[in-house]
Amino acid sequence: MTMGIQTESLTKQFANGVTALANVSLSIGQGEFVALVGRSGSGKSTLMNILGGLDHPTSGSVLFDGIRVDYHDRKRLIDLRRTQVGFIFQQFNLLPGLTALENVAYPLLFNYAPRDERNRTAMHLLTLVGLADRGDHLPHQLSGGEQQRVAIARALVGNSRVVLADEPTGNLDSKTSAEIYQVMREVNREKGVTFLIVTHERDLASYCDRTIELRDGKVVS
Protein backbone atom coordinates (compact mmCIF):
# COMPACT_ATOMS: atom_id res chain seq x y z
CA MET A 1 0.00 0.00 0.00
CA THR A 2 1.27 3.47 -0.86
CA MET A 3 0.91 5.97 1.98
CA GLY A 4 0.04 9.52 1.03
CA ILE A 5 -1.99 10.94 -1.84
CA GLN A 6 -2.13 9.61 -5.38
CA THR A 7 -4.15 10.84 -8.32
CA GLU A 8 -4.71 8.81 -11.46
CA SER A 9 -5.65 10.60 -14.70
CA LEU A 10 -7.65 13.18 -12.80
CA THR A 11 -9.78 15.25 -15.17
CA LYS A 12 -12.19 18.06 -14.38
CA GLN A 13 -14.43 19.63 -16.93
CA PHE A 14 -16.82 22.32 -15.79
CA ALA A 15 -20.33 22.64 -17.21
CA ASN A 16 -19.22 25.67 -19.27
CA GLY A 17 -16.78 23.41 -21.15
CA VAL A 18 -13.60 24.57 -19.39
CA THR A 19 -11.17 21.70 -18.81
CA ALA A 20 -9.54 22.75 -15.54
CA LEU A 21 -7.59 19.51 -15.06
CA ALA A 22 -6.49 17.14 -17.80
CA ASN A 23 -5.17 13.69 -16.86
CA VAL A 24 -3.35 14.76 -13.74
CA SER A 25 -1.41 11.86 -12.24
CA LEU A 26 0.74 12.61 -9.25
CA SER A 27 1.95 11.11 -6.06
CA ILE A 28 2.67 12.87 -2.78
CA GLY A 29 4.18 10.77 -0.01
CA GLN A 30 2.98 10.92 3.58
CA GLY A 31 4.92 13.65 5.38
CA GLU A 32 6.01 15.51 2.25
CA PHE A 33 5.94 19.33 2.14
CA VAL A 34 5.11 20.23 -1.44
CA ALA A 35 4.54 23.48 -3.31
CA LEU A 36 1.89 23.64 -6.05
CA VAL A 37 2.61 26.43 -8.52
CA GLY A 38 1.28 27.63 -11.87
CA ARG A 39 -0.29 30.68 -13.43
CA SER A 40 -3.71 31.94 -12.44
CA GLY A 41 -6.28 29.66 -14.05
CA SER A 42 -3.93 26.67 -14.36
CA GLY A 43 -6.15 24.47 -12.17
CA LYS A 44 -4.50 24.70 -8.75
CA SER A 45 -7.64 25.45 -6.72
CA THR A 46 -9.64 22.91 -8.70
CA LEU A 47 -7.07 20.26 -7.79
CA MET A 48 -7.08 21.27 -4.12
CA ASN A 49 -10.88 21.22 -3.96
CA ILE A 50 -11.05 17.76 -5.47
CA LEU A 51 -8.31 16.41 -3.19
CA GLY A 52 -10.19 17.78 -0.19
CA GLY A 53 -13.54 16.37 -1.23
CA LEU A 54 -15.11 19.80 -1.81
CA ASP A 55 -15.59 19.05 -5.51
CA HIS A 56 -15.60 15.88 -7.58
CA PRO A 57 -13.64 14.95 -10.70
CA THR A 58 -15.21 14.31 -14.09
CA SER A 59 -13.03 11.22 -14.39
CA GLY A 60 -9.99 9.66 -12.79
CA SER A 61 -9.27 8.80 -9.18
CA VAL A 62 -7.86 10.08 -5.93
CA LEU A 63 -6.37 7.65 -3.43
CA PHE A 64 -5.58 8.38 0.21
CA ASP A 65 -3.21 5.80 1.68
CA GLY A 66 -4.10 3.51 -1.20
CA ILE A 67 -7.85 3.81 -0.70
CA ARG A 68 -9.85 5.22 -3.59
CA VAL A 69 -12.11 8.14 -2.70
CA ASP A 70 -15.72 7.43 -3.65
CA TYR A 71 -17.09 10.83 -4.70
CA HIS A 72 -20.65 9.49 -4.68
CA ASP A 73 -20.47 8.64 -0.98
CA ARG A 74 -21.36 11.95 0.67
CA LYS A 75 -21.04 10.60 4.18
CA ARG A 76 -17.56 9.35 3.46
CA LEU A 77 -16.59 12.72 1.93
CA ILE A 78 -17.72 14.52 5.07
CA ASP A 79 -15.68 12.03 7.08
CA LEU A 80 -12.67 12.70 4.89
CA ARG A 81 -12.90 16.42 5.60
CA ARG A 82 -13.47 15.84 9.29
CA THR A 83 -10.71 13.37 9.99
CA GLN A 84 -8.14 13.28 7.19
CA VAL A 85 -7.82 16.58 5.39
CA GLY A 86 -7.54 20.12 6.72
CA PHE A 87 -7.88 23.31 4.66
CA ILE A 88 -6.16 26.66 4.95
CA PHE A 89 -7.40 29.53 2.78
CA GLN A 90 -6.04 32.90 1.72
CA GLN A 91 -8.87 34.69 3.57
CA PHE A 92 -8.30 32.78 6.86
CA ASN A 93 -12.09 32.08 7.06
CA LEU A 94 -12.29 32.27 10.85
CA LEU A 95 -15.71 32.69 12.45
CA PRO A 96 -15.70 36.37 13.55
CA GLY A 97 -17.84 35.90 16.68
CA LEU A 98 -15.72 33.10 18.13
CA THR A 99 -12.42 33.41 19.99
CA ALA A 100 -9.23 31.88 18.64
CA LEU A 101 -9.67 28.89 20.95
CA GLU A 102 -13.32 28.45 19.96
CA ASN A 103 -12.45 28.67 16.26
CA VAL A 104 -9.92 25.86 16.63
CA ALA A 105 -12.24 23.75 18.81
CA TYR A 106 -15.28 24.30 16.60
CA PRO A 107 -14.85 21.36 14.19
CA LEU A 108 -14.67 19.02 17.19
CA LEU A 109 -18.31 19.78 18.01
CA PHE A 110 -19.19 17.45 15.17
CA ASN A 111 -17.12 14.66 16.71
CA TYR A 112 -19.22 14.87 19.89
CA ALA A 113 -16.10 15.33 21.99
CA PRO A 114 -16.76 16.71 25.51
CA ARG A 115 -16.10 20.41 25.99
CA ASP A 116 -13.04 19.97 28.23
CA GLU A 117 -11.44 17.66 25.75
CA ARG A 118 -12.22 20.00 22.84
CA ASN A 119 -10.65 22.93 24.65
CA ARG A 120 -7.59 20.92 25.69
CA THR A 121 -6.97 19.77 22.12
CA ALA A 122 -7.49 23.30 20.79
CA MET A 123 -5.13 24.80 23.37
CA HIS A 124 -2.47 22.23 22.55
CA LEU A 125 -2.68 23.21 18.87
CA LEU A 126 -2.71 26.96 19.59
CA THR A 127 0.46 26.39 21.62
CA LEU A 128 1.97 24.49 18.70
CA VAL A 129 1.45 27.51 16.41
CA GLY A 130 2.80 29.93 19.03
CA LEU A 131 -0.51 31.44 20.18
CA ALA A 132 -0.94 29.97 23.67
CA ASP A 133 -1.60 33.44 25.08
CA ARG A 134 -4.13 34.48 22.42
CA GLY A 135 -6.84 31.89 23.00
CA ASP A 136 -9.45 34.39 24.18
CA HIS A 137 -8.87 36.92 21.40
CA LEU A 138 -11.45 37.43 18.68
CA PRO A 139 -10.19 37.31 15.08
CA HIS A 140 -10.37 41.10 14.66
CA GLN A 141 -8.06 41.45 17.66
CA LEU A 142 -5.39 39.41 15.89
CA SER A 143 -2.98 40.33 13.10
CA GLY A 144 -3.27 38.63 9.72
CA GLY A 145 -0.36 36.35 10.52
CA GLU A 146 -1.89 35.40 13.86
CA GLN A 147 -5.25 34.70 12.23
CA GLN A 148 -3.55 32.41 9.74
CA ARG A 149 -1.83 30.59 12.63
CA VAL A 150 -5.26 30.01 14.17
CA ALA A 151 -6.41 28.63 10.81
CA ILE A 152 -3.41 26.26 10.75
CA ALA A 153 -4.31 25.01 14.23
CA ARG A 154 -7.93 24.55 13.12
CA ALA A 155 -6.83 22.60 10.04
CA LEU A 156 -5.06 20.14 12.34
CA VAL A 157 -7.80 19.69 14.91
CA GLY A 158 -9.34 16.55 13.44
CA ASN A 159 -5.91 14.90 13.53
CA SER A 160 -5.61 15.56 9.80
CA ARG A 161 -2.77 13.74 8.10
CA VAL A 162 -2.94 16.12 5.14
CA VAL A 163 -3.23 19.91 5.01
CA LEU A 164 -4.23 21.62 1.77
CA ALA A 165 -3.28 25.32 1.81
CA ASP A 166 -4.55 27.45 -1.09
CA GLU A 167 -2.39 30.60 -1.24
CA PRO A 168 -2.18 30.78 2.56
CA THR A 169 0.12 33.80 2.49
CA GLY A 170 -1.61 35.69 -0.33
CA ASN A 171 -2.79 38.38 2.12
CA LEU A 172 0.39 38.63 4.17
CA ASP A 173 3.60 40.64 3.89
CA SER A 174 6.78 38.77 3.06
CA LYS A 175 8.15 38.59 6.62
CA THR A 176 4.87 37.23 7.98
CA SER A 177 4.62 34.85 5.02
CA ALA A 178 8.01 33.39 5.89
CA GLU A 179 6.87 32.93 9.50
CA ILE A 180 3.74 31.11 8.36
CA TYR A 181 5.88 28.78 6.24
CA GLN A 182 8.05 28.12 9.28
CA VAL A 183 5.00 27.26 11.40
CA MET A 184 3.70 24.89 8.71
CA ARG A 185 7.15 23.35 8.41
CA GLU A 186 7.36 22.74 12.17
CA VAL A 187 3.97 21.04 12.13
CA ASN A 188 5.16 18.97 9.18
CA ARG A 189 8.34 17.91 11.01
CA GLU A 190 6.79 17.38 14.44
CA LYS A 191 3.61 15.62 13.41
CA GLY A 192 4.51 14.17 10.03
CA VAL A 193 1.55 15.97 8.45
CA THR A 194 1.64 16.19 4.65
CA PHE A 195 1.36 19.72 3.23
CA LEU A 196 0.36 20.75 -0.27
CA ILE A 197 0.71 24.52 -0.56
CA VAL A 198 -0.36 26.69 -3.48
CA THR A 199 1.89 29.68 -3.90
CA HIS A 200 2.68 32.32 -6.52
CA GLU A 201 5.97 33.27 -4.99
CA ARG A 202 9.07 31.42 -6.07
CA ASP A 203 10.99 32.15 -2.88
CA LEU A 204 8.21 30.60 -0.79
CA ALA A 205 8.22 27.50 -2.99
CA SER A 206 11.90 27.16 -2.12
CA TYR A 207 10.92 26.36 1.50
CA CYS A 208 9.29 23.19 0.19
CA ASP A 209 10.75 19.73 -0.47
CA ARG A 210 9.67 19.92 -4.08
CA THR A 211 7.42 21.76 -6.49
CA ILE A 212 4.61 20.51 -8.68
CA GLU A 213 3.78 22.86 -11.54
CA LEU A 214 0.46 22.96 -13.36
CA ARG A 215 0.03 24.54 -16.78
CA ASP A 216 -3.38 24.56 -18.48
CA GLY A 217 -4.58 21.77 -16.20
CA LYS A 218 -1.59 19.51 -16.82
CA VAL A 219 1.37 18.66 -14.64
CA VAL A 220 4.53 20.01 -16.27
CA SER A 221 7.03 19.12 -13.54
Ligand X SMILES: Nc1ncnc2c1ncn2[C@@H]1O[C@H](COP(=O)(O)OP(=O)(O)O)[C@@H](O)[C@H]1O
Interface residues with Mg ion (CB under 5 A)?
44-45
Binding test (CB under 6 A) with ligand X, winner from 5, 43, 163, 197: 43
Residue 183 CB-half CA count within 13 A: 29
Q: How far is the CB of 144 from Mg ion (least distance, A)?
A: 19
Segment (H or E) for 78: helix 74-83
Q: How far is the CB of 28 from ligand X (least distance, A)?
A: 17
CA distance 139 to 147: 6
Q: Which of 196, 146, 187 is nearest to 166 (CA)?
A: 196
Binding test (CB under 6 A) with ligand X, winner from 7, 46, 121, 148: 46
Coil vs helix vs strand at 109: helix
221 binds, among Mg ion, ligand X, none (CB under 5 to 8 A by kind): none
CA distance 133 to 42: 40
Provide DSSP, 117-135: HHHHHHHHHHHHTT-GGGT
Q: How far is the CB of 51 from Mg ion (least distance, A)?
A: 13
Does residue 40 touch ligand X according to CB under 6 A?
A: yes
Q: How far is the CB of 214 from ligand X (least distance, A)?
A: 6
| Identity at 129, one-letter amino acid code | V
110 binds, among ligand X, Mg ion, none (CB under 5 to 8 A by kind): none
Nearer to ligand X, 40 or 221 (CB): 40
Contact residues toward ligand X (CB under 6 A) are: 14, 16, 18, 20, 38, 40-46
